C-alpha cells in the first residue's frame, strides 16, 4: 500500500501559491520572450509527479516507453491502449506541466479520419492536452487542429521510421536533407502545429529551423539553439541499461541508488533485520497486559486516516 493522493490545495510550485498551468499558447509566448522550454518524458504517476513538481514545462508521454519501460528494441510495438494507460497515469499526477501524448506507430498512418479518432481518445479518455506525431504530415496536422486537438510535430530522427532509416541515425547530414527539413517544418507550422520536436539533427540545421519558425522547437540531440530541450527520463537518471547517446547528459544515477536500496532490503530480510518491532502493529496496551488476543482494535484499514490513529509505521 502507498499513500499517493494529493493533499487538498497542495502547492506544487514551492512558492506558496498554486502553479500557473502551462498551455500550448504559453509555449509560443515563451518562445516570443526568449524563455527556454524544459521538456522531459514521464510514463507513470510517481515519476510524472516528480517531473511536474520540479517545474518541467512539458511532459511527454513518449512512445519511447516501449523501450525504456516495456523493454522492446524499438518503439514500434507499443499500442494505443498501452499509450492511453500510461497517459492516464501521468495525467493523474500532473498539475502544472503541459501533458503531451505520443501517437504510437500505426495509429495515424492510415486515413486521416482514423488518425483523428485515435487522437481524440488521447484527449477524451486520457486527458492529454496535445498529441505528438512523427514525420512531415501537414494534412493530418491540419485535420487535428480543425478537430481542436493541439498537435506537436516531430522531425529529423523519427524513431518510428527506424526501418526506413536503417537504424537510429542522425538525419539532415547534407544540404539537401537540411533544405527538406526546413520545408517540412514550415509546412507543419502553416498547417497548425503548436511546436516541433527536432531530434537527432546537426546543431546548425536545428538553429536555422528554430530561427525561421514562429512556433517553438524542442530539441533532443539537436544542439543548444532550439527554443526548448527534451530528454528521456530514464536517460537522465541512468535507468536505460544501454550505452549513452552523445546528446544525453546524466543528472543522477537511479540505477546505483535502486541497486543499493534493494540489496540492503534483501540483506535485512535475510538477516531478519526487517521489519523491526517499531515497524510492526501491536494490540492495544490493555489487551497485551491481559494477554487477550482481542483483534477488534487492530483491523482498522491502513489508509491515511488510520496512519494518523496508529502513527506512521516506525514512528509510533
Ligand atoms: O518518445 C519519445 O520519448 C520522444 C522524444 C524522444 C521526443 O518522442
Write a three-state SS string for the chain. Answer: CCCCCCCCCCCCCCCCCCCCCCCHHHHHHHHHHCCCEEEEECCCHHHHHHHHHCCCCEEEECCCHHHHCCCCCCCCCCCHHHHHHHHHHHHHHCCCCEEEEECCCCCCCCCHHHHHHHHHHHHHCCCCCEEECCCCCHHHHHHHHHCCCCEEEEEECCHHHHHHHCCCCCCCCCHHHHHHHHHHHHHHHHHCCCEEEEECCCHHHHHHHHHHCCCCEEEECCCCCCCEEEECHHHHCCCCCCCCCCCCCCCCCHHHHHHHHHHHHHHHHHCCCCCCCCCCCCCCHHHHHHCCCCHHHHCCCCCHHHHHHHCCCCCC
Q: Determine the residue of 108, 154, 239 to mutate for testing ligand 1's pocket, defined as the one with the most ligand atoms within 8 A of the Cβ atom.
A: 154
Ligand 1 mean position to 220 CA, how many Å?
A: 8
Q: What is the mean pLDDT of the chain?
A: 91
pTM confidence score: 0.89
Give 19's pLDDT tier (boundaries 50, 70, 90): confident
pLDDT of residue 295: 52
pLDDT single digits (tens) 245-263: 999 999 999 999 999 999 9
Mean pLDDT to the nearest integer, 165-183:
97
Q: List, for residues 149-173, the tens digit of each pLDDT value.
A: 999 999 999 999 999 999 999 999 9
From the CA of 39, give the closest atom in ligand 1: 7
Amino acid at each position: 500500500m502507498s499513500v499517493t493522493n494529493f493533499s487538498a490545495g497542495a502547492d506544487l510550485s514551492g512558492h506558496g501559491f498554486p502553479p500557473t498551468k502551462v498551455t500550448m499558447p504559453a509555449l509560443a509566448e515563451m518562445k516570443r520572450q526568449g524563455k527556454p522550454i524544459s521538456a522531459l518524458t514521464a510514463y507513470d504517476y510517481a515519476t510524472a509527479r516528480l517531473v511536474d513538481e520540479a517545474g518541467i514545462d512539458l511532459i511527454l508521454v513518449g512512445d519511447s516507453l516501449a523501450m525504456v519501460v516495456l523493454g522492446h528494441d524499438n518503439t514500434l510495438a507499443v499500442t494505443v491502449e498501452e499509450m492511453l494507460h500510461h497517459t492516464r497515469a501521468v495525467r493523474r499526477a500532473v498539475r502544472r506541466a503541459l501533458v503531451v501524448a505520443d501517437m504510437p506507430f500505426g495509429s495515424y498512418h492510415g486515413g486521416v479520419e482514423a488518425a483523428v479518432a485515435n487522437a481524440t481518445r488521447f484527449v477524451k479518455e486520457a486527458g492529454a492536452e496535445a498529441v505528438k506525431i512523427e514525420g512531415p504530415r501537414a494534412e493530418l496536422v491540419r485535420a487535428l487542429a480543425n478537430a481542436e486537438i493541439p498537435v506537436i510535430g516531430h522531425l529529423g530522427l523519427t524513431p518510428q521510421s527506424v526501418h526506413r532509416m536503417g537504424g537510429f541515425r542522425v538525419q539532415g547530414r547534407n544540404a539537401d536533407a537540411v533544405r527538406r527539413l526546413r520545408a517540412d517544418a514550415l509546412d507543419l507550422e502553416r498547417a497548425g502545429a503548436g511546436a516541433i520536436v527536432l531530434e537527432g539533427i546537426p546543431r546548425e540545421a536545428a538553429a536555422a529551423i528554430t530561427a525561421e519558425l514562429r512556433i517553438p522547437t524542442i530539441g533532443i540531440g539537436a544542439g543548444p539553439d532550439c527554443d526548448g530541450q527534451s530528454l528521456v527520463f530514464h536517460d537522465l537518471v541512468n535507468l536505460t541499461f544501454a550505452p549513452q547517446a552523445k546528446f544525453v547528459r546524466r543528472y543522477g544515477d537511479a540505477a546505483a541508488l535502486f541497486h543499493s536500496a534493494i540489496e540492503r532490503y534483501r540483506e535485512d530480510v535475510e538477516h531478519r533485520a526487517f521489519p523491526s518491532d517499531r515497524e510492526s502493529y501491536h494490540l492495544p496496551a490493555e489487551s497485551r497486559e491481559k494477554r487477550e488476543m482481542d483483534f477488534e482494535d487492530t483491523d482498522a484499514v491502513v489508509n491515511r486516516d488510520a496512519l494518523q490513529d496508529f502513527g506512521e509505521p516506525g514512528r509510533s
